[in-house]
Amino acid sequence: MSDSRRPKHAQKTLGIVGIGLIGGAVALAARRHRAVRRIVAADRDPASLARARRRGIVDHAGSIDDVAACSDVLVLAVPPRSLAAMVPRVLRGLRAGCVATDTASTKRSIVDAIPRPRPNGPWFVPAHPLAGSERSGLDAATPDLLEGALCPVTPKSGTPAPIVRRIVQFWSSLGLRPFVVGAREHDRCVARTSHLPFVVASLLARGLEPSMRAFAGPALRDATRVAASESGLWVDILLDNRDEVLRSLHWLRADLEWFVQLLEREDSSALARALRSARRRRDDWSGEWAAR
């Protein structure tokens, strides 16, 4: 492809560490939107890297250090507890002026792990594409997975504004809708909107009995969908955002106890008000979901 056909803000080389579901989707989105000239990748699973090369998803594969050394933008698509330890290492390997970002669903530990940058960089600007699937691995990645998804960007205090804009532009060039927010606020919100729903789905699925199989309909299927997600990744997420997840669980426990009391009292009016309130709140949000 000639340079004249590429977007104005196309990056020269995109590096990806972790070529699974999200890392693969990042690469496929970059291909679709012609946002980069070359994609290089590292992954602890050589078979996954080999598949990515055979499918033309990445151009070259190598070690984490090799990928960092040749990247203009580096995306770390690895679990949050592995990522925090990886941040200083990849920053040492990046060239001055280059920038790294990530896809982890918790942000405070990542921001805390970012060392003070040198005057000319490189820099690390955390992000979180709000997209995914209960499936995992490269074979589940599609170019549509990230399209239109919201993407919080959580820069460390003191990160130069042009560098933040560069990462915002990068995620936008892949078809996402990035916005800047503090890491603490991010973790507080996703505990309620993502992490708590996963816990609830898992507990619902865990309590199913064989005799119930014939009665399982769409409500159960939809309510437990995310319980099919990779458990190891979710252990990482829940432990990394432990304080906020616990706050959300305490809130849910109080709400459940209140609802139990309504049923015990057979308070039909209060039950109806509670259910109408829930329906109105969901209806308010459904338009936003439909637009994505």
Segment 208-263, tens digit of pLDDT = 999 999 999 999 999 999 999 889 999 999 999 999 999 999 999 999 999 999 99
Residue 286 neighbours by CB under 8 Å, 6+ apart: none
Query: What percent of the chain has a predicted confidence (pLDDT) above 90?
Result: 73
Which residues constitute the domain of residue 222?
189-291
Residues 102 and 139 both lie in one domain: yes
Give the relative orientation of helices 242-264 and 196-206 as an angle to the nearest 10 degrees. Answer: 60
Residues 160 and 207 both lie in one domain: no
Query: What percent of the chain has a predicted confidence (pLDDT) above 70?
Result: 94
1 within a domain of the structure (yes/no) = no
Looking at every residue in the chain, the average pLDDT score rounds to 91
From 168, 185, 202, the end of a domain falls on 185
CATH number at residue 253: 1.10.3660.10
Indicate if the pLDDT at residue 291 is higher than 80.
no
From 185, 203, 229, the end of a domain falls on 185
Residues 161 and 223 both lie in one domain: no
State the first-to-last Cα distance of the chain, in angstroms, to the nearest integer.
30
- Into how many domains does the chain fold? 2
In angstroms, rounded to a whole number, what is the distance separating the alpha carbons of residues 174 and 178? 10
Give the relative orientation of helices 196-206 and 231-240 as an angle to the nearest 10 degrees. Answer: 130
| Range name among 67-81, 122-136, 195-209 with the lowest pLDDT average | 122-136
Give the rounded distance of the alpha carbon of 209 from its chain centre. 32
81 within a domain of the structure (yes/no) = yes
